Structures are given as C-alpha cells and as structure tokens.
Chain A
C-alpha cells in the first residue's frame, strides 16, 4: 500500500506553516499523471472501453491526513458464477507510482467490497476500474484534496 517515502507536498507545506520549520525540501520524485494511469489500465485491458456505474467509491473529499487516507470500494453485483466481479484496481494520478491496490474476487467472496488506507502525496484523482465475469469494465473517479489545513473557523 504505502508509496515510497518522498516528502509530500503536504509535508512541505505543513513544515512551512510551522514555527520550527527547517528549510523545506521540494519533492524530488517525479509524480504520476493521468496519462500514467491510462497506460496502466491499457496494460491490463488494452483498448476495451469502461463505462460509468456499479462502483461505489468512498473516499474523503478533503483528506484529514494525506498519509493515511481511507478508501472503501464496493461494486454492485449478485456475485453468482455467471455474474460476478472478478477484479478491482485502484489508481492515483498524482503519486510517485500510479498503482494503489488491486483486489481479486470470486463468487465465494459474497460481496465485492474492500477497504484500505492509502498515502497521497498531493491533491489528485483516485481512479477505480472493475472487471466483471462477462468481461465488462466499469470505472469511477473521485478527487481527494490534500491540504495544509489550519486557519479554519
């Protein structure tokens, strides 16, 4: 789950706001982008088209802590031998590496639901793609804001 230990933008900014800040170090790692996520999906599914729907992607709109952002994914499905969710992949388009987590399901899973925590280096999109038993693909996307916080009230 955890991405590489680069200093994130959030950390940089937090350091900046603080009284005891040492000189902040700019992120040195190149970050992924939307094209990198598309390339990953293409590696998995070629040019097959994914449609919207079925996936309930539950992530906060603003992360309370960019280092541990909760993610819950659930895909609507009867989970029978003929009609079930085979896999769910989660990507992020602004982390050093685009891959967040991949899940495999079988009809025995009962529900295609999973939870995890991810680290996000900056404000970015979380992209989810689900493959069904019949080969159909579904996708969902949600932006998570990573902010320095403070000053509220």
Chain B
C-alpha cells in the first residue's frame, strides 16, 4: 500500500514548485508555466487494474470556476471527518501549501485571487485528453466509470434533452454508469437513452414499484488486466424524494444493505476478484455502507461533490471521492491477484484547463453541440462586483442573486431556492451571462411559483429540510444543502434533533418575528409537484439582472449557525 507521505509527494509534485510563493501573487502566466501537463498527469503505474472515475459533471462541457464549500458540516458519526473539513483545516489535514494549485482546486481559501492565477477547471476536451493518456499507458487494464449526474444542468443539455452530453460521453467510451439527476429527464427519455448506450447503465436499486421488477442491469463483470472485475451500480437511493417522482412514477429507489450484499455475493460467486460499487449514495452513506456490506473492494462515491486527494479506507474498502463539475478525474491503480487487492495507488487528477491540452476530437464535438446555442449562452445579463458562488451548507452569494430576483420580480415577501450543490462560480468583475445563470438553474422543473404560506408552514419546511441535511444517521439524510431563503433570517443548530434546529425566524426587511399564523407571499422554484405554474427561473433571474445591471454581493449574515454538537 502506498503511504500517505508517498501519496502527498506523488500527488503534489506539481504544486510543490509553488509552495512559498505567496497567496496568489505569482501571476497567471507564471502559474500556467509551472502547471505542466506532464506533472499533472505523472503517475507511477501499479498493478494490473486501473479504475478511472468521473462523476457529477452536471453537463459542464466547457471549463468552469467552481468554489468548494467553506462550510460543510458533518453530524453524528461523520463529525470532524473528511469530507467535513474545509478551508485551512483541509489544507492542514492533507499538508497542502496555501496558495498552491491544489489549495485552489480543493478549498475556498483565497478563491477569487487564486482563480485568476490558475484559471478555470474541467472541460470535456481536457478530460478526454487525460483519459486517453491513461488508456495509452495502461491499455486493457483500464475501466472508465461514470458515477452519474452527468446528463443534466446546463442550458444545452436541457435544450437537447441530454443528447449533447450523451454524445460527448459516448466519445469518452465509459464502461458503465449509474445515475441520479438523469431521472429528471423522465422515465421515457431515460429508457430511450439507456437502451441506445454502447455501455450499461447500472442500478441495482431501481425497480418497478408494482412487482419490483428490475429496470436496469444491477451489475456487470469485466475482465481487465487478466482480473475479473465486478461493477455494481447504485443509483441515488432518494431520487424519488429529492426530485419530482411524477417524472418516473413507476420506478422506486431503495437504500438496502441486504440488496447490495446480495449483489456482492453474486459477483464473488461468479468469480469476481475485484468488486467495485459505482455509487451515487453520497459520501457519508457510502462510508456507513462500507462498514455494513462485506466484500466491496472499492466504492467510487458521488452525489455530495466531495473532492478528496486521498482514498479513504473503511476496513478493507477504499472510498474514492472525485469532486464535481469536471474539476477532477480519479485514477486508482490496483494490484489484484487471486486472493484480492494487494496494493493500490491513487491520484485525484486536477483538470486545470489552462495547463492540459484540449483533445481535438472532443473539442470539435463540444463546439458542434454548442453552436446552435452560442448566441443565447453568451448573452450578457449583468456584471458582478464580487465573487458569486453557491456551494456550502448555507446560502451563498449566488443564491442571494436568485432569492433577491424572486423577491423583486415575483413581488414576494419570502423566497425559497433549493440547496442543490451544482452551479458554477463567478469572479469579481466578471460579466454574468445567460450560460452562467442557467448553469445554476437549468433543470426540467424550473417554474418559479408564487403562493401563500403560513409562518408555521415555512418553519415546518425549514425543519424538514434541515433534518434531511443534518440527521445524525447518514441513511436518513436526503442530500443537498440547506434551502436558501430570501426575505428571512434565522438561526440554525445543526446538532439539534428534528423539529428543534430552526429558531429566531425574522423578516429581513424589518426584523419582525415570523408570525406562525399569518399568511406570507412566497416565491420559489424547483417544486417537486406536478403542474407547478410560473415563469422559468432563468427568466426571473435574467429580468432582475438586466434591471440591476451590477451585482454587489452583501455580507452573508442571514443565517446564524450555533451549537457545537
């Protein structure tokens, strides 16, 4: 097994050059010169199997800025453990120099300044280059696995019903995938695509609700480097709760250790020497599952968008967390013999778009699929003075834009915006384009409703969503971050029990306490209810930006977090 120290040396060789050069003061050109592609891809190969993992790309065909969270609280058994360490603590935990490329890629520290030096990350053409490079080196030992949340949440994917991303992914030639947001394309479209894919869509935990027939293949056996590798698919188990179930009314999703165990046992019985769970459970669920299901060698995690520079070991199971938005590709080399895994070497490869050469074939395809929409995508709606971002347990500056837009354009007292973990970041001084807006809201149920709710209902909703995020049992968590609010301030104690986390709800405009019995006008988007009415959220935000012209982010003080657990 590779030691932590060895890993750090291998993984951060590129960044070591930059240590001590100060917080983002080196200038962009110097940074790019020092970030060489060869260093980024350097990897001393090991063993006979190479797993390549991409996940949560959210249809981001071209490079983006994406600020990692500054607040990502862990509760219960996950408290204080990765991935619930952020900022300087994260850098200290992994011994990453402040101001280095990996500090920029993995944390929120000094993000805007470092982003200017190190540039955007991701892009399918850069990802293609990296994957082709690994394949050229490792040949038939490679297995490329896609953890899902691949097909949705860009304007072009929404307009083409994911045809653009599917075509681009097919060019990458994955060996298997699983899913979550994919299902928001509706059952019919999902089946249409999965039936046409040149690789299997694996999901052992999706069944027809009536007779519990399988909807997708549960697992597939591959032979790589002379090793029999079983890949079991685990779709997001709470898709039917987190997303509109009416879009796939006959499918039921589950989270059952016993079912996963049966698949593992079947794989072993069929001769698998390496068992991989291609999971969209989310990191905390996967960590718990690794301790309860016996015989999984590797869990490729997804959903919670965590990027970890080392594999996490639970017993004999390795957990890999590849991040989101195409910022990273994971490479896990494994030495496997008859009796199992003898050793591994892992690297979270950062996709610095300025340092990695675009793959020409993929670049041409991306250009082709975007061409019909370029005019829309590039339309400038406004400009921002400060950093705009969403990711984090509570409201980000980009969320303020969304909730302010709803309050103003929909003339509401209170606005609700979902705490999805996707959506890129914008740097101070950047134009805000239609593409930037839709990258943060392109989904298939975008209507911005306007309704009336009692104060007590609003409190109940916040408590319910709070329990989905902060329930101490990861199996009882529903995923995502806390709902974002406009027009209201509140205090939250994540370590309290259900129904007791939210307090001191006040109207932002006058500091008055929310009245449980009064009706308030509420606007929101991404309702999971069928036939929700209202303009699409991108029109609401677009109108607001065109009126406002320049966004100046204000202090994020609407949510007060208390409690120490």
Cα(A12)–Cα(B447), bound, Å = 21
Q: Is B256 an interface residue (CB 8 A)?
A: yes
Q: A19 to B446: give the CA distance in the assembly, Å.
A: 12
- Whether the pair B447, A153 counts as a contact (CB closer than 8 A) is no
* B532 close to A64 (CB less than 8 A): no
Question: Known contacts A13-B457, A148-B461, A150-B418: does B245 contact A23 (CB below 8 Å)?
Answer: no
**A62 to B245 Cα, complex, angstroms:** 14
Q: B467 and A151: CB pair below 8 A?
A: no
- The verdict on A46 contacting chain B, using a C-beta distance below 8 Å, is no
| Nearest Cβ on chain A to B135's Cβ, whole angstroms | 31
A77 interfacial by beta-carbon distance below 8 Å = no
Cβ-defined contact, A152 with B478, below 8 A: yes
Given A13-B457, A151-B465, A153-B242, does the pair A19, B253 have CB atoms closer than 8 Å?
A: no
What is the minimal beta-carbon distance from B175 to any residue of chain A, in angstroms? 25
Q: Which residue from chain A places its CB closest to the CB of B282 in the assembled complex?
A: A152
Interface flag for A53 (CB, 8 Å)? no
The listed residue (B238, B454, B457, B527) touching A152 by CB distance below 8 A is B238
Q: Are A152 and B468 in contact (CB under 8 A)?
A: yes
- Are the C-beta atoms of A152 and B240 separated by less than 8 Å? no
Within 8 A of B (CB), among A138-153: 143, 145, 147-153
Question: Looking at the complex, which one of A17, A58, A152 makes contact with B242 (CB distance below 8 Å)?
Answer: A152
Query: Closest approach, in angstroms, between the C-beta of B318 and any C-beta of chain A?
Result: 25
**Are A60 and B254 touching (Cβ within 8 A)?**
yes
Given A64-B241, A147-B478, the answer on whether A17 and B524 have CB atoms closer than 8 Å is yes
Interface segment, one of B123-131, B138-146, B373-381, B419-427: B419-427
Instruction: Decide if B461 touches A62 in the complex (CB within 8 Å).
Output: no
A153 touches B454 (CB 8 A): no
Known: A13-B457, A16-B460. A153 touches B420 (CB 8 A): yes
Taking the closest CB of chain B, its distance from the CB of A101, in whole angstroms, is 19
Q: Is the CB of B252 within 8 A of A151?
A: no
Q: Is the CB of A149 within 8 A of B478?
A: yes
Which B residues lie within 8 Å of A24 (CB)?
A: 454, 457
Contact in complex: B453, A152 (CB < 8 Å): no
Q: Are B529 and A18 touching (Cβ within 8 A)?
A: yes
Quick one: which of B243, B449, B529 has the most chain A CB within 10 A? B529
In chain B between 447 and 491, which residues have their CB closer than 8 angstroms to a CB of chain A? Answer: 447, 449-454, 457-458, 460-461, 464-465, 467-468, 471, 473, 475-476, 478-480, 483
Interface residues of A in 113-153 (CB under 8 A from B): 123, 143, 145, 147-153
* CB pair A151 B483 closer than 8 Å: yes
Interface string of A5-26 (1 = CB under 8 A from B): 0000100111011111101100
Residues of B within 8 Å of A152, CB to CB, are: 236, 238, 241-243, 418, 420, 468, 478-480
Q: Nearest chain A CB to B515's CB is how many angstroms away?
A: 15
Closest chain A CB from B562 CB (angstroms): 22
Contact for A62 among B238, B420, B453, B528, CB less than 8 A: B238
CB pair B240 A21 closer than 8 Å:
no
A65 partner residues in chain B, CB cutoff 8 A: 240, 245
Roughly how many angstroms separate A17 CA and B446 CA in the complex, as a whole number?
14
The residue in chain B whose Cβ has the minimal distance to the Cβ of A64 is: B240
Contact assessment for B534 and A147 in the assembled complex, using a CB-CB cutoff below 8 Å: no
Question: Measured between alpha carbons, how far is A66 from B464 in the docked complex, in Å?
Answer: 14
* Residues on B with beta carbons closer than 8 Å to the beta carbon of A150: 242-243, 418, 465, 526-528
**Knowing A20-B531, A62-B476 touch, does A151 contact B526 (C-beta < 8 A)?**
yes
A102 beta carbon closer than 8 Å to chain B: no
B180: Cβ under 8 A from any A Cβ: yes
Instruction: Report the interface size class on chain A.
Output: 20 to 34
Q: Does A61 contact B (CB under 8 A)?
A: yes
Q: Report the minimum CB–CB distance from B399 to chain A (whole Å).
A: 12
A14–B238 CB distance below 8 A: no
Q: Across the interface, do B527 and A19 meet the contact criterion of CB distance under 8 Å?
A: yes
Q: Does B519 contact A (CB under 8 A)?
A: yes
- A21 and B452 form a contact (CB under 8 A): yes
Complex CA–CA separation, A150 to B240 (angstroms): 9
B255 CB–A CB distance under 8 Å = yes
Bound-state CA distance A17–B529 (Å) is 8
Check if A151 sits within 8 Å of B238, measured CB to CB: no
**Separation in Å of the B206 CB from the closest CB of chain A?**
11
Task: Among B258, B460, B479, B534, point to the contact of A19 (Cβ < 8 A).
Answer: B534
A19 touches B242 (CB 8 A): no
Whether B527 contacts A61 by the Cβ 8 Å rule is: no
Known A-B contacts A18-B532, A147-B467; the reply to A153 vs B457 at CB < 8 A is: no
Point out the residues of chain B lying under 8 angstroms from A23, CB to CB: 452, 454, 519
Q: How far in angstroms is the closest Cβ of chain B from A70?
A: 8
Give the CA-CA distance A12 to B252 in the complex, in Å: 23
Which chain A residue has the least Cβ–Cβ distance from B468? A147
Q: Closest Cβ of chain B: how far from A136's Cβ, in Å?
A: 25
Q: Is B533 on the interface with A (CB-CB < 8 A)?
A: yes
Residue ranges of B at the interface with A (Cβ–Cβ < 8 Å): 149, 180-181, 236, 238, 240-243, 245, 252-256, 258, 416, 418-422, 447, 449-454, 457-458, 460-461, 464-465, 467-468, 471, 473, 475-476, 478-480, 483, 498, 519, 524, 526-529, 531-534
